[in-house]
Amino acid sequence: MGKRFENKIAVVTGAGGTLCSEIALQLSLEGAKVFLVGRTMDKLEKTAEKILAAGGVPPTAVSCDVTDEKAVEDLAQLVHGAGGCDFLINGAGGNNQKAMPTITRFDPKELTGELPEGQKGLYDIDIAAFRSVLDINTMGTVIPLLAFSKQMIAKGSGSVVNFASMNSFCPLTRCFAYAMSKAAVCNLTQSFAAYFAPAGIRINAVAPGFMVNERSKNYLGTVEEGLTPRGQQVIGHTPMGRFGEARDLTGCVKWLLDDEASGFVTGITVPVDGGFLTLGGV
């Protein structure tokens, strides 16, 4: 019996990150040839080494800014030469501290410059950073989707998994640009799914909850070693009582990619959040 994704070609953006590196590994173990895409080659090479050590199909690492149309077109040509894209995981994205205030509610002092040192309000944020968050999370999803959907059209089928967030449904405090952009990912997932359905392309999204990585450990702590105040808030709002791990996401992604398992599913966003969205906070 062959592997589930044998002879398939997958493009994974953000493949140097905690979540998408694990997705890339799992797809390669299922037989897919994976193109690892990101801005930092060192991180991509670490993912490639992990795949090779696990016995996965040897991947190809490509440094690429997914908001750069020319760079993505060059990447698409490379993938076309290998046989064309079957799966696209739009995992590249992120936030920027410069786009975030430090306070959670409006304070008149932010208009007079009298906030305490080290604090900033919404009027003090860096608008260029705000735009950059919108760009990486929205256009960084749209540009690869447009480039690789052409190859899927030529094949008569394909599957795309975009990365939304809990912020898509209910924005967390201070995350204005991030929440805006991730809400947009849900909407574009629906609208592009409807548009490309006649071409046999399915487009869905996952919305990860609070996942464990080095950055989250710094500002949330861990259940095992102690939580920060914000981490305590998160766990108190998560019925399953823990943070998510990359392995919690991979099964959902593989289900969405698999035509036999989810062939009549398109345009949805699946929360993978330990039940975070089930609680109203009251």
User: What is the rounded distance in angstroms from the CA atom of residue 221 to the CA atom of residue 69?
Assistant: 38
Among 249, 84, 83, CA closest to 164: 249
Work out the number of other CB atoms within 10 angstroms of the CB of residue 87.
24
User: What is the rounded distance in angstroms from the CA atom of residue 243 to the CA atom of residue 115?
Assistant: 34
What are the φ and ψ backbone dihedral angles of 127, each rounded to 5 degrees? -65, -35
What tokens were used for 265? 């599913």
Let me know if 123 is a catalytic residue: no
Q: Which residues pair with 201 in a beta bridge?
A: 158
DSSP 8-state secondary structure symbol assigned to residue 244: B
Rounded-to-10 torsion of CA 153, 168, 34, 41: 120
Question: Do 35 and 11 contact (CB within 8 A), yes or no?
Answer: yes
Handedness of CA 194, 195, 201, 207 (dihedral sign): negative
Please pick, among 123, 178, 195, 219, the residue that the annotation labels catalytic.
Answer: 178
What tokens were used for 218? 């710094």
Catalytic residues: 178
